[in-house]
Amino acid sequence: MDEILPHYTEIIDGNLFWDGTNILEVAKDYGTPFIIYSENILRGNYRKIKNAFNKYFKNVSIDFAIKSNFNPSLISILSSEGCGMDASSVNEIKIALLSGVSPDNISFTPNNVTIEELKFAIDKNITINFDSLSQFRMVLDHLPEIVSFRIKIDYGKGEFPGIKTAGKGAKFGEIPELALQGYREAKEKGCRRFGIHVMAGSNVRNADHFKLVAQKILEVVKNFEEELGIEFEFVDMGGGFGVPYRPEEGELDVMDTAKNIADVFKAFYTEKGREIPRLVIEPGRYISSNSGLLVGKITDVKRQESNFTGTDIGMNILMRPALYGAYHHILIANRMNEERKFKTDVTGQICENTDRIGKDVMLQEPQIGDIVAVFNCGAYTMSMASNYNGRLLPMELLISDGKLITIREKDNFQDIVRHTKFYESAKTLKD
**pLDDT value of position 428:** 80
**pLDDT value of position 103:** 97
* 161 in a labelled binding site: no
* Among 383, 394, 363, 355, CA closest to 288: 383
What are the sequence ranges of the domains in the chain?
Answer: 9-38+289-416, 39-288
User: What string of DSSP letters covers 336-386?
Assistant: TTS---EEEEEE-S-SSTT-EEEEEEEES---TT-EEEE-S-SSSSGGG--
Q: CA–CA separation, 75 vs 348, rounded Å?
A: 29
Lowest mean pLDDT among 45-54, 165-174, 212-221: 165-174
More confident position, 279 or 424: 279
More confident position, 199 or 297: 297
Q: Catalytic pick from 83, 191, 351, 377? A: 351
Question: Which amino acid belongs to residue 338?
Answer: E
Look over the chain and give the mean of its residue pLDDT values, rounded to a whole number. 94
**pLDDT value of position 429:** 77
What is the DSSP pairing of strand 60-65 with strand 278-281? parallel
Tell me the average pLDDT across 69-94.
Answer: 98
Cis ω before 33 (30° cut-off from 0): yes
More confident position, 1 or 103: 103
84 three-state secondary structure: strand
CATH number of 9-38+289-416: 2.40.37.10
* CB 42 within 8 Å of CB 288: yes
Tell me the average pLDDT across 198-210.
Answer: 91
Q: Can 191 be counted among the known catalytic residues?
A: no
User: What string of DSSP letters covers 192-252?
Assistant: -EEEEE---EESB--HHHHHHHHHHHHHHHHHHHHHHT--EEEEE----B---SSTTSPPP
Tell me the average pLDDT across 318-331.
Answer: 96
Q: CA–CA separation, 133 vs 36, rounded Å?
A: 42
What backbone torsions phi and psi does residue 112 show, to the nearest 5 degrees? 60, 35
**DSSP annotation of 165:** -
Confidence label for 238 from pLDDT (cuts 50, 70 and 90): very high
Q: CA–CA separation, 217 vs 368, rounded Å?
A: 53
| C-alpha distances in Å from residue 312, one per residue of 4, 92, 151, 317 | 26, 29, 42, 10
* Among 331, 323, 319, 339, CA closest to 383: 319
Confidence label for 93 from pLDDT (cuts 50, 70 and 90): very high
**DSSP annotation of 151:** B
| C-alpha distances in Å from residue 199, one per residue of 54, 61, 133, 166, 217 | 21, 15, 17, 7, 10
* 282 in a labelled binding site: yes
CA 258 to chain centre: 19
* 273 in a labelled binding site: no
Flag whether pLDDT at 160 surpasses 70. no
Flag whether pLDDT at 363 surpasses 90. yes
Tell me the average pLDDT across 51-61.
Answer: 98
**pLDDT value of position 200:** 81
Q: CA–CA separation, 153 vs 390, rounded Å?
A: 41
* 177 in a labelled binding site: no
**pLDDT value of position 401:** 95
**pLDDT value of position 1:** 43
More confident position, 81 or 159: 81
* Among 226, 248, 263, CA closest to 57: 263
Flag whether pLDDT at 168 surpasses 70. no
- The domain defined by 39-288 carries CATH number 3.20.20.10: yes
**pLDDT value of position 3:** 61
| C-alpha distances in Å from residue 36, one per residue of 25, 198, 232, 407 | 13, 33, 41, 9
Q: 364-368, long-range: CB within 8 Å, 24+ apart, which pairs? A: 364/331, 364/332, 364/335, 364/336, 364/338, 364/339, 364/340, 365/335, 365/338, 365/341, 366/298, 366/301, 366/309, 366/332, 366/342, 367/298, 367/301, 368/298, 368/299, 368/300, 368/301
pTM: 0.94
**pLDDT value of position 163:** 46
* 320 in a labelled binding site: yes
Tell me the CB-side half-sphere exposure of residue 231, using CA atoms within 13 A: 9
Q: Edge-to-edge strand order for the sheet containing 15-18?
A: 9-12, 15-18, 21-22
**pLDDT value of position 4:** 82
* 233 in a labelled binding site: no
* Among 338, 145, 327, 332, CA closest to 234: 145
